Amino acid sequence: MAYSSKLIEQAITEVAKLPGIGKKSALRIVLHLLKQEPIETNMLARGLEELRENIKYCTVCYNISDDDVCAICSSHKRDDTLICVVEDIRDVMAIENTEQYFGRYHVLGGIISPIDGIGPEELNIESLVSRIDGNNAIEEIIVALPSTMEGDTTAFYLTKKLQNSNVKITGIARGVPVGSELEYTDEVTLGRSILNRTQL
């Protein structure tokens, strides 16, 4: 597309690099900003730059944090015997929102995906191993990774890595989601939900 201004072309190119945003959405966003007061654009730009410059990762669990140790890791109210291993901080937020889990977390920062060039050494796996080795209080590791080939590979790798540790390794339950119809559930999930049935 031909743009009437180099400035707008440059802004659109940058915005269109963001995930889930194509050239058309980028144009819409940029025109929206032009209709707003300049201060709105400044606040957006500042917010992103400040985040990028000042963000810290918790030195214990690698969650995003304003301090060296995140609020969850420094809380005295959380269960020290449990660590939930997740892919990224979105999963921490999702699990926190359930208000059903009171243990600690460990954020891997991704999952093993050879196709994207992500091997175990790119992830926070070694730190998880030494965290478990250095803390006798930990009794159980809950692997809460996506149910994909990459997620399963990572879970398998973690299990191997931790087999000599004295901790129980569990995975989150797979089954028919609450509120969904059996007939619309895929065969694999439905099959597993029967195999892993629970006592009522």
What is the binding site for a second copy (CB under 8 A)?
A: 1-8, 10-11, 13-15, 17-21, 25, 27-34, 38, 40-56, 58, 63-66, 70-72, 88-90, 92-93, 96-97
Going by C-alpha positions, the residue among 155, 192, 188 that lies closest to residue 170 is: 155
Cβ-based nearer residue to a second copy, 45 or 188: 45
Q: How far is the CB of 46 from a second copy (least distance, A)?
A: 8
C-alpha dist (Å) from residue 30 to 5, 45, 94, 192, 199: 12, 13, 31, 47, 55
Pairing of strands 64-65, 56-57: antiparallel
Cβ-based nearer residue to a second copy, 107 or 141: 107
Q: How far is the CB of 9 from a second copy (least distance, A)?
A: 9
Q: How far is the CB of 142 from a second copy (least distance, A)?
A: 19
In 10 A of CB 86, how many CB atoms?
27
Cβ-based nearer residue to a second copy, 79 or 156: 79
Quote the CA–CA distance of 80 and 140 in Å, as a whole number: 10
